[in-house]
Amino acid sequence: MRPGPCLPWLQDTVRRLGMTPVVMTPEGHDEAMAIIQGLTHFLNIVFARTLQTRHADVEALLRVCSPVYQVLFAMLSRILSGDPQLYGQIQILNRENIPVVREFLKNGAELLDMAEGRRYPDFYRIFSEAGAYLGPFKAVARQESDFLIDRMREYLQRERKPD
């Protein structure tokens, strides 16, 4: 929404709904959504496609998943339960998605080369640099994800108990 006379009303409405309004340029929005939506959806679609093309036994995989990976499979399934037209439009219509996904694929190829070449020091360096880039958010996210994993563990224990 462009700033105008309705912006304060909209911001107040958003706040009353328990959200935090953020004003940004259309370009800033598209760049943020390319990472938040575009890359996340792309990752999950490619993950599911890889399960399919490798003929992975999803049920067998889920039996050996720890709760953290159960959460990942849950998020994957949540996205893939959505409307393919909506997700396709998100991927295709935001032109900022293309450079983000290309950079992701380039980085993935770099890590793959390190793994194939058994270049442990290079991998450790990239891993450490990526973690350091997250800064203090890494610790906060660790606590938040611990909470999610604990809730998933509790849920799975309840669901797996015989009647």
Model confidence pLDDT, tens digit, residues 67-108: 889 999 999 999 999 999 999 999 999 999 999 999 999 999
Is residue 20 assigned to a domain? no
Is residue 1 assigned to a domain? no
Report the CATH number that the domain containing residue 72 is assigned in CATH: 1.10.3660.10
**Given pLDDT bands bounded at 50, 70 and 90, which one contains residue 162?**
low
**Given pLDDT bands bounded at 50, 70 and 90, which one contains residue 7?**
confident
Q: Does the structure show a pLDDT above 90 at 23? A: no
Is residue 7 assigned to a domain? no
* Placement of tokens 């890359």 in the chain: 39
* Placement of tokens 């996340």 in the chain: 40
- 49 near 13, Cβ under 8 Å? no
Domain, as residue range, for 130: 25-160
* Alpha carbons 84 and 82: distance in angstroms, whole number: 6
Please state, in angstroms and as integers, the Cα–Cα distance from residue 132 to each residue in 61, 117, 129, following that order: 31, 24, 5
Is residue 6 assigned to a domain? no
Count of domains for the chain: 1
Is residue 16 assigned to a domain? no
Is residue 10 assigned to a domain? no
- Which pLDDT does position 48 carry in this prediction? 97
- Which pLDDT does position 156 carry in this prediction? 85
Q: Does the structure show a pLDDT above 70 at 1? A: no
- Which pLDDT does position 163 carry in this prediction? 57
pTM above 0.75, yes or no: yes
Is residue 70 assigned to a domain? yes
Is residue 44 assigned to a domain? yes
